[in-house]
Amino acid sequence: MTTIHADTTGPHGHDAHHDAPYYASKGGLFVNIWDWMTTIDHKKIGVMYLFAVLAAFALGGAAALLVRMQLWAPTTTVAGATGEAVVTGMWPFASNLDYNKAFTLHGAVMVFLFIIPSIPAALGNFILPLMLGAKDVAFPRLNLFSWYVYVIGSLFAIASIILGGVDTGWTFYTPYSTIAEEYGRVIAMTLAVFILGFSSIFTGMNFIVTVHKLRAPGMGWFDMPLFVWAIYATSIIQVLATPVLGITVLLLTIENVFKIGIFNPAYGGDPVLYQHFFWFYSHPAVYIMILPGMGIISELIAVHARKKIFGYKFVAFSSLGIAAISFIVWGHHMFTSQGELASAIFSGLTFLVAIPSAIKVFNWTATLYKGSIALTTPMAYALIFLFLFSIGGLTGLFLGSLSTDMHLHDTYFVVAHFHYVMMGGTVMAFLGGIHHWWPKMFGKMYNERWALVGAALVFIGFNMTFFTQFILGTKGMPRRYATYVDEFQALHQLSTVGSWILGVGFLIHLAVLATSFFGGKTAPPNPWGGLSLEWETASPPIEHNFHHEPVVRHHPYDFDTVVPPQTVPGEFPVADPGGKGH
């Protein structure tokens, strides 16, 4: 039980280039560019996705900082020379319309270009086949195609911004999106979402088939790391929900071009029907965003606390449970627009989500109990996740109850809630995951101390930015306005200062990772003592992932009985090396 087949034996009778890292240079600059642009290696595609989504994150983040700047002070409306209303105090935006365009840009870019592809397409592409012991994903060419589809979709979104932007909000509600004066931009943006949906579907299909057909010999369903379970559940949602978004934005596009009347009341359509269509995708999409983060947290907590995960099957099945429930709760986004019977049903169903989510949080907490917690950056982010996600999840219960939501609907309370889940959950898990797998992906260690400083600033800045917004929301501050009553100014300014601290935290992370990339210490194959298969290959992995097809002989979380592969003896003490206690 305790002997592990580690992939350290090296190539037997292979050429030397089989030993080279996956990103080894193939020739001159153009040869290398061509090699990356046409690669079907899941690792390179994962890295390409990583850079693409980080660029999107920077764009969306810049828009967010500008929005927060505008909210530093309320605007005032005064009578102009001829008695017309003149708005003063708009800065950095020139008008309310520009402000609307900026928050739409922030929302659309963060949702469709960053969060949805972030963990599955970037980290998942790189890590999932390695975790399964596979040579590649099931359909490598489709995988590359999905990256190009993502880029094309992003170009449409950017075209929409360059043409002047969209002010509908990221939800493109009709009739805002069908009476917009500039149809062209709305069409470009909705087409972008349509195209990006395909990218998401292709990634999901690829992962489902990979998990079914390419597991290493000896790896049963319950021997898979929990990250794989989470990505699997995510992929199910991607495949089953994204097509409905596709038809929604396609109909919206056709509606703008050919004036058909399905959503537009001017032509006999029903705008609330649009909301059903949209949220049928976009609520499950919330779990496309958070489930991969939960998968990462399962890995981080188990590995960095050196503890067998508590309740493996419960954590695994709760991912599938969340995926299933996600399809029957979308109406809680529409409590003020739909009928009261549906509202009551959806409100009741919404509370079901709390069960699998709570199972996960309790199991993670129980895993930490009496573990040997190493306060590395990944572990710090796992703890931050637990704290922030709990707040985000529990405030979700307020919003899920019909009567409270009537008062909190469309206030900053909602904004704070979903930022606590999306950013406090997914982005924190993403950052933790990047630091956890960074040595594996690029073969370099990062500066732990500075990375922890960055994590601390992100934590402080995040709470300053968004906890204030809970208070603002309960006091009645509506979302999506460029101005507010004077009483709210102190809280808004606190929130804006928080956004700066948050920005500084991210810049520190960027500097730490860039320093590591260009001059970091060489990473050992298994710096954290992990037991899943990605730690059995070199850091960075060789082109074909493993010299020999790995054979699974232990559970990925048997930290108390198994000596981690490719580590110095005694570096990661094993509680019960003989396995006699079991």
Partner 1 sequence: MSQAHAEIHHDEHEHHHVSSMRLLNTILAVLLVLTVLTVAVSRVHFGESLNLWIAVGIAVVKASLVAGFFMHLLHDKAMNTIVLFFCILTIGFFLLFTLVDMGSRGMVDPLRDGDIAPPAIAAEARQRAIAEGRLDPNESHADDHATPESH
Partner 2 sequence: MTTIPTSRGGTGEPWERYKHQPHWRNNADEFEAAKLGMWLFLATELLLFSGFFCAYFVLRMFHPDSFRGASEYYLNWQIGAVNTVILLISSWNVAVAVRAAQLGRKMILAVNLFFASLCGVAFLVIKLSLEYIPKIQKGEVPGGFFSYAGGHGYEPSAYDPVFLSVYWVSTATHGFHVLVGVLLLWWVGWRALKGHFGPKHYTAVENVGLYWHIVDLIWIFLFPLLYLVP
195 touches 249 (CB < 8 A): no
Give the chain's count of helices (H) and strands (E). Answer: 18, 2
How far is residue 142's CA from residue 199's CA, in Å, rounded to a whole number? 9
Nearest to 535 by CA among 522, 549, 521, 524: 524
Distances (CA, A) of 227 to 58, 87, 186, 291: 26, 51, 37, 9
In the shown chain, the binding pattern of residues 203 to 232 toward partner 2, with x for contact by CB under 8 A and - for none, equals -xxx-xx--xxx------------------
Selection from partner 2, partner 1, none that 135 binds (CB < 5 to 8 A by kind) is: partner 2
Q: What's the min distance (Å) between Cβ of 205 and partner 1?
A: 10
How far is residue 560's CA from residue 576's CA, in Å, rounded to a whole number? 5
Does 320 bind partner 2 (CB under 8 A)? Our answer is: no
Q: Among 21, 89, 265, 348, which residue interacts with partner 1 (rule: CB under 8 A)?
A: 265
Does 212 bind partner 1 (CB under 8 A)? Our answer is: yes
Distances (CA, A) of 334 to 278, 280, 346: 11, 11, 9
Q: What's the min distance (Å) between Cβ of 236 and partner 2?
A: 9
Does 240 bind partner 1 (CB under 8 A)? Our answer is: yes
Does 261 bind partner 1 (CB under 8 A)? Our answer is: yes
Does 260 bind partner 2 (CB under 8 A)? Our answer is: yes
Phi, psi of 71 (to 5 degrees): -85, 10
Q: Among 2, 32, 96, 338, which residue interacts with partner 1 (rule: CB under 8 A)?
A: 338
Selection from partner 1, partner 2, none that 139 binds (CB < 5 to 8 A by kind) is: partner 2
The region of 111-119, 141-149, 235-243, 539-547 touching partner 1 under the rule CB under 8 A is 235-243
Does 402 bind partner 1 (CB under 8 A)? Our answer is: no
Phi, psi of 76 (to 5 degrees): -125, 145
Residue 551 or 568: which CB sits closer to partner 1?
551
List all residues 6 or more positions away from 133 whose beta carbon is below 8 Å from its beta carbon.
Answer: 215, 216, 217, 219, 533, 545, 546, 549, 550, 551, 552
525 touches 208 (CB < 8 A): no
Does 339 bind partner 2 (CB under 8 A)? Our answer is: no
Selection from partner 1, partner 2, none that 262 binds (CB < 5 to 8 A by kind) is: partner 2
Q: What's the min distance (Å) between Cβ of 540 and partner 2?
A: 19
Going along 381-436, which residue ranges are E strands?
none
Q: Among 58, 151, 240, 373, which residue interacts with partner 2 (rule: CB under 8 A)?
A: 240
Residue type, 286: V
Residue type, 287: Y
Does 342 bind partner 1 (CB under 8 A)? Our answer is: yes
Selection from partner 1, partner 2, none that 140 binds (CB < 5 to 8 A by kind) is: partner 2
Phi, psi of 251 (to 5 degrees): -60, -40
Q: What's the min distance (Å) between Cβ of 166 and partner 1?
A: 25
| 175 prior amide bond cis, ω within 30 | yes
Does 327 bind partner 1 (CB under 8 A)? Our answer is: yes
How far is residue 23's CA from residue 541's CA, in Å, rounded to a whole number? 9
List all residues 6 or more positions away from 197 whose beta carbon is below 8 Å from its beta carbon.
Answer: 242, 243, 245, 246, 249
Selection from partner 1, partner 2, none that 338 binds (CB < 5 to 8 A by kind) is: partner 1
Tokens standing for residue 173: 């509600």
Q: What's the min distance (Å) between Cβ of 548 and partner 1?
A: 9
Q: Among 2, 20, 90, 135, which residue interacts with partner 2 (rule: CB under 8 A)?
A: 135
Nearest to 133 by CA among 556, 565, 552, 566: 552
Does 175 bind partner 2 (CB under 8 A)? Our answer is: no
234 touches 426 (CB < 8 A): no
Selection from partner 1, partner 2, none that 218 binds (CB < 5 to 8 A by kind) is: partner 1
The region of 25-33, 77-85, 233-241, 419-427 touching partner 2 under the rule CB under 8 A is 233-241
207 touches 236 (CB < 8 A): no
For 215-243, b/e burial (b = at least 16 CB within 10 A) is bbeebeeebbbbbbbbbbbbbbbbbbbbe
How far is residue 82's CA from residue 568's CA, in Å, rounded to a whole number? 81
Does 291 bind partner 1 (CB under 8 A)? Our answer is: no
Residue 150 or 335: which CB sits closer to partner 1?
335
**Residue indicated by tokens 């590359």:** 144
The region of 125-133, 300-308, 333-341, 394-402 touching partner 1 under the rule CB under 8 A is 333-341
Q: Among 13, 79, 341, 580, which residue interacts with partner 1 (rule: CB under 8 A)?
A: 341
168 touches 177 (CB < 8 A): yes
Q: What's the min distance (Å) between Cβ of 23 and partner 2?
A: 19
Rg (alpha carbons) of the chain, rounded to whole number: 24
The region of 10-18, 155-163, 176-184, 337-345 touching partner 1 under the rule CB under 8 A is 337-345
The region of 66-74, 88-96, 248-256, 309-317 touching partner 2 under the rule CB under 8 A is 248-256
Q: Which residues in this chain contact partner 2 in the complex, by CB under 8 A?
A: 134-136, 138-140, 142, 201, 204-206, 208-209, 212-214, 239-244, 246-248, 250-251, 254-255, 258-262, 264, 266-270, 273, 276-277
Q: Which residues in this chain contact partner 1 in the complex, by CB under 8 A?
A: 5, 212, 217-218, 236, 240-241, 244, 261, 265-268, 270, 272-273, 276, 280, 327-328, 330-331, 334, 338-342, 345-346, 549, 551
